[in-house]
Amino acid sequence: MMRGTLAELEAVTAVAANGGFRAAARELGISSSALSQQIGALEERIGVRLFNRTTRSVALSSAGEQFVAEITPALATIRNAVDLASEHSTDPTGTLRINTSIGAARMILSPLVIKYMERHPQMAVELVTEGALVDINGQGFDAGIRILEAVPPDMTVVPISRFIRPAIVGSPAYFSAYGKPSVPADLQNHQCIRGRMASGPIYHWEFERRGEAFTIDVPGRLTLDESDVMLRAAREGVGLAYLNEWQVMEDIVAGRLVRVLADWTPPYPGLCLYYPGRRHIPAKLRAFVDLIKEARWD
């Protein structure tokens, strides 16, 4: 007689991977109390405590470590079998979970995600946006989307866009008051909207021209950590903003913003989808990859 249901086994590995009940419950789509009950029922049935719990932490017991090590390959085999069986379906079903950044989510929403849902009406998509990279496999994501240089090693990579180009912009009113910079060094005499990265440090603006590459910690009284807010501040004439070209092009065409130092801001490698290397990928993910290859833009 099986002494642990599949849901209970998935619950154990989720808590072990996430280091706690709250994050694991969010990943599994159930309440923390329901998750705790599942694991408690399994522990009672097998007569072994799998987790050592305190008010501040949850950690695998020695028995729990051995248990997780034994069941993890088996669960992977079961998931793979389910994925293989789903490939015989005429259309993928289920939920495609993708971890990405806020900026990337904005870029792919219309040309990829919405189109994917229209093409596959039985599919749901969950985009989870985070500034910092996460373990997509350990946290139950099917794939991630980031700029190429941020992709973890040993991942299968599918390019979405070849390049992303930065743009330095300001409002006409700002340039009327302060003039335009001609070279990056002139930024020391301007108000710049500084950006704080998800990891904490202030982003230093990147420049390159004729093989010369360097960064500048620009001056500015306003520091923000979200690009849409930076864009709004630039429109209001607060200062110069360093953003992605796709994000500001509509404002440039409409005359709400003016671009400067374009010849000092060359493109860098663009967005890509990535996922753990697998012999077989689920039908739902394969369908998304096929759409990317059709819709790729430069």
Q: Is the pTM of this model over 0.75?
A: no
125 three-state secondary structure: strand
What is the SS3 assignment for 12?
Answer: helix
* Same domain flag for 178 and 207: yes
Same domain, 105 and 149: yes
Q: What is the CATH number of the domain that holds 40?
A: 1.10.10.10
Say yes or no: 41 and 105 in one domain: no
Does residue 30 lie within any of the structural domains?
yes
The amino acid at 224: L
Helix (H) or strand (E) holding 95: strand 94-100
How many structural domains compose the chain? 3
Q: Does residue 250 share a domain with residue 211?
A: yes
Cα–Cα distance for residue pair 163/246, rounded to 1 Å: 11
Same domain, 36 and 23: yes
pLDDT at residue number 54: 81
DSSP string, 203-230: PPEEEEETTEEEEE----SEEES-HHHH
Residue 63 belongs to some domain of the structure: yes
Domain stops at, among 86, 105, 120: 86
| pLDDT at position 88 | 60
Contacts of 250 (CB under 8 A, 6+ apart): none
Question: Does residue 208 lie within any of the structural domains?
Answer: yes
Reading the chain (298 residues) residue by residue, the pLDDT tens digits are 345 578 888 888 888 888 888 888 877 778 888 888 888 888 888 888 999 888 777 889 999 899 989 888 888 788 777 666 665 655 788 899 999 988 889 888 888 999 999 999 999 999 998 877 888 887 889 999 998 888 988 899 999 988 889 999 999 999 999 999 999 999 999 999 999 987 789 999 999 998 889 999 999 999 999 889 999 999 999 999 999 998 899 999 999 999 999 999 988 888 999 998 766 788 899 999 999 998 766 5
Co-location of 107 and 156 in the same domain:
yes
The owner of tokens 């870029």 is: 107
Query: Residue 206: inside a domain, yes or no?
Result: yes
CB burial of 205-234 (b: ≥16 within 10 Å; e: otherwise) equals bbbeeeeeeeeeebebeeebeebeebbebb
Residue 219, φ and ψ in degrees, nearest 5? -80, 155
Q: Is residue 230 part of a domain?
A: yes
Is 280 a domain residue? yes
Question: 257 with 171: CB under 8 angstroms?
Answer: yes
Instruction: Give the model's pLDDT for residue 78.
Output: 80
Same domain, 21 and 137: no
Are 145 and 234 within one domain? no
**Residue 73 resides in a domain:** yes
Q: Are 58 and 15 in contact (CB under 8 A)?
A: yes
Are 190 and 262 in the same domain? yes
In a domain, 1, yes or no: no
Same-domain status, 118 and 150? yes
SS3 261: coil
Domain, as residue range, for 183: 166-266
Q: Does residue 241 share a domain with residue 281?
A: no
66/203 same-domain check: no
